[in-house]
Copies of this chain bind each other. A is one copy, B any other.
Amino acid sequence: MGYTDKDWLAINTIRILAADATFNANSGHPGAPMGMAPVAHVLFNKFMKFNPKNPNWVNRDRFVLSNGHGCMLQYALLHLFGYALTLDDIKNFRRVDSITAGHPEAHDTPGVEVTTGPLGQGISNAVGLAMAQAHTAATFNKDGFPLIDNYTYCFLGDGCLMEGVSSETSSLAGHLQLGNLIAVYDDNHISIDGDTNCAFTEDVVKRYESYGWHVVIVDDGDNDLEGIEKAIKECQEVKNKPSLIKLKTTIGFGSLQQGTHSVHGSALKADDIKQLKQKFGFNPEQSFVVPQDVYDQYHKHAAEGAAAEEEWNKLFASYATKYKAEHDDLARRLTGALPEGWEKNLPVYTPADAAVASRKLSEIVLTKIEGILPELVGGSADLTGSNLTRWKGAVDFQPESTGLGTYAGRYIRFGVREHGMGAIMNGMAAYGTIIPYGGTFLNFVSYAAGAVRLAALSQVRQIWVATHDSIGLGEDGPTHQPIETLAHFRALPNCMVWRPADGNETSGAYYVALTSKHTPSIIALSRQNLPQLEGSTVEKTLKGGYVLHEAEGAQVTLVSTGSEVCICIDAVKELAEKHNIKARVVSIPCFEVFDAQSKEYRLSVLPDGIPSLSVEVMSTMGWERYTHEQFGLNRFGASGAYKDVYKKFEFTPEGVAKRAIATIDFWKDVPNIRSPINRAFQQII
């Protein structure tokens, strides 16, 4: 309370920085920063606790700009508070190789918690951050040691509210009673197509109340700083509900075009910026000006944040004396490293072990490692019994009042919300104390494509337990049988797509997924049983691809993944016994990891001089990179018992053998067959 001209000077500085930067870039979105500068000023200075010199302090308040196109607001704040983001960086807004990209990117810009821009993601990441906070607090806080009590704040716009992913995660946030989550809805009545009344006339207040949120309305977000402060305070006091502040603002406040969609997505005109500066008492001939007084105010608050961290560090040190194990666990988790020797818990198998569905193998891994990896927290999108994602004795992550679990619980009931689950995992991973995993059918990871993409782009560790990974799911039929899904995510940069063939490969997939700190993984797992293979090991799996079955004088290499590897092994017998043909078998459970091996190694797996045939019951797209010929399914599947479906499409030892023979025949006249591993030049990666 007690706002003065100094506050308005800061607010107007932010507005003008946004106008200058977008003008300078001739691109960008000035409207939202200009409209939301007042609430940002109040929130960041009166409420938020953070230390710009250490953007990774675990108990900092988190801020998410879900309407990421308004990123000049965030960049201006980061700059003013003294994060490692200079005025030159703001002058380089939206330029190649700057740290001020067109939308905020967490891995590039210090102080940006999560990568936003694709609408609906940020608010959903915020739900994940708040869940991680609640879980971490419940796990580590002790009497007298409130180690973790940060808030998660999020700004979002109409677009975020229209996207379905925000509905999924907001509904779950209400169910979970996430009191430390406070979102500010920029109710400016404008989207790209103009007035929101053309497509978005729902009652947002009522909708969020229906989810179980606390909702406050602030009528004049342009001027009423006291009202904003009061609203945030009120929300902080509501401990058992997330809060939404519906804040009425004027988009592009101060511009001659304020309140219209013309200030949404393009720079203001030069004249408009001039009058804006004059109106706010700035020199219209100067650009990128920050009054020293504004720096002083903001640096003062930053210093308070640094002091708060220092206090916290003391608290944490004293926690160490009393709760050594917990202290060390949290400290370790914050480094992203796993406990030494954890990998000894990964199960290994021999061919004498029983055939098991790889979804079950995944369950065994989770069961064996959950004890030593307390940071493993996850669940399923309402397919627990099918995904087998819940170890025996797991406690649900639930508010106590439900009687179904506690916040310290590590098993999340995501509901039928795949996209929300993905975006929540992104937020949970960003919090820094958790490795999230989420289960669904492989086919429905596609529902979450927008979130998986951001996981890859923002380089977060997370694991998709993607069961029912092919036509092998059988009766559920084509609506549920993935054809394009592996190709889709294999084409996504920095995303590991695993399709293990047996128990050792499943353990290997988890090993790499868990130790890759900056890459999400999708582990595709079978519904049907798979035998434990002769020749597979965890170690070989770590290379992404390896020779499973070598054969002196082989005439063809069969290259496969997952449930088709054992069919290839049977095809080898078929070829030997009925056709006197020798074949070798290669398993490539993960393209991304195999591609990262040396050329020498890859050529040893897929050598020159021998034709190769890939075998995978889905789209052949991408297999041409490794093999000369491809046996796959470039059509939709069929509903029926899985063996009947495999038979219909000839994914049998006989069907593979037939195509192996065709491959040998087709390549027999080619001298010096070249392995596809040989390329004319290096890819840009």
List the interface of chain A (C-beta within 8 A of B). 25, 27-28, 68, 94-98, 101-103, 105, 115-120, 158-160, 162-168, 171-172, 174-175, 191-193, 197-207, 209-212, 380, 382-386, 396, 398, 402, 404, 413-420, 443-444, 446-447, 449-450, 453-454, 456-457, 474-480, 483-484, 487-494, 611, 613, 619-622, 624-625, 628-636, 638-641, 644-645, 648-650, 659, 662-663, 665-667, 670-672, 674, 676, 678-681, 683-685
Contact = CB atoms under 8 A, between A and B. Distances in A.
B640 A192 contact: no
B174 A484 contact: no
Given A172-B199, A201-B212, A211-B202, A639 B102 contact: yes
Contact of A444 (B118, B203, B493, B628): B118
Contact of A671 (B27, B402, B671): B671
A635 B493 contact: yes
A386 B174 CA distance: 35
A95 B162 contact: no
A620 B683 contact: yes
A198 B416 CA distance: 12
Contact of A96 (B418, B632, B640): B640
Contact of A474 (B27, B203, B474, B488): B27
Contacts of A166: 164
A118 B634 CA distance: 21
B479 A484 contact: no
Contact of A382 (B192, B201, B491, B648): B192
A135 to B, nearest CB: 16
**Closest 7 pairs between A and B when the two form their complex, measured CB to CB:** A164-B164, A96-B640, A624-B624, A666-B680, A167-B167, A199-B415, A487-B491
Contacts of A175: 199-202
A398, A641, A650: most-surrounded residue (chain B CB, <10 A): A641
A402, A476, A620, A641: most-surrounded residue (chain B CB, <10 A): A476
A420 B166 CA distance: 13
Given A457-B478, A621-B621, 11 more contacts: A94-B640, A102-B480, A162-B417, A453-B484, A487-B488, A487-B621, A493-B635, A622-B624, A628-B680, A630-B683, A666-B681
Contacts of A119: 416
When all copies of this chain in the complex are counted, the total is: 2
5 contacts: A27-B641, A102-B476, A117-B477, A193-B384, A203-B210
A163 to B, nearest CB: 6
Contacts of A683: 620, 630, 632, 634
A383 B198 CA distance: 13
Nearest to A381: B162
Contacts of A212: 201-203
A348 to B, nearest CB: 31
Given A207-B211, A685-B634, A168 B163 contact: yes
A82 to B, nearest CB: 24
A197 B28 contact: no
Contact of A450 (B444, B487, B625): B444
Given A201-B175, A453-B484, A488-B487, A417 B164 contact: yes
A204 B171 CA distance: 10
Contact of A404 (B171, B198, B418, B639): B198
A148 B231 CA distance: 50
Nearest to A204: B210
Contact of A662 (B118, B678, B680, B685): B680
A414 B671 CA distance: 58
B193 A382 contact: yes
Nearest to A448: B449
A646 to B, nearest CB: 10
Nearest to A628: B680
Contacts of A633: 684
A429 to B, nearest CB: 17
Given A209-B206, A484-B453, A484-B492, A415 B197 contact: no
Given A449-B447, A488-B491, A634 B202 contact: no
Given A204-B210, A206-B206, A386-B192, A665 B680 contact: yes
A398 B639 contact: no
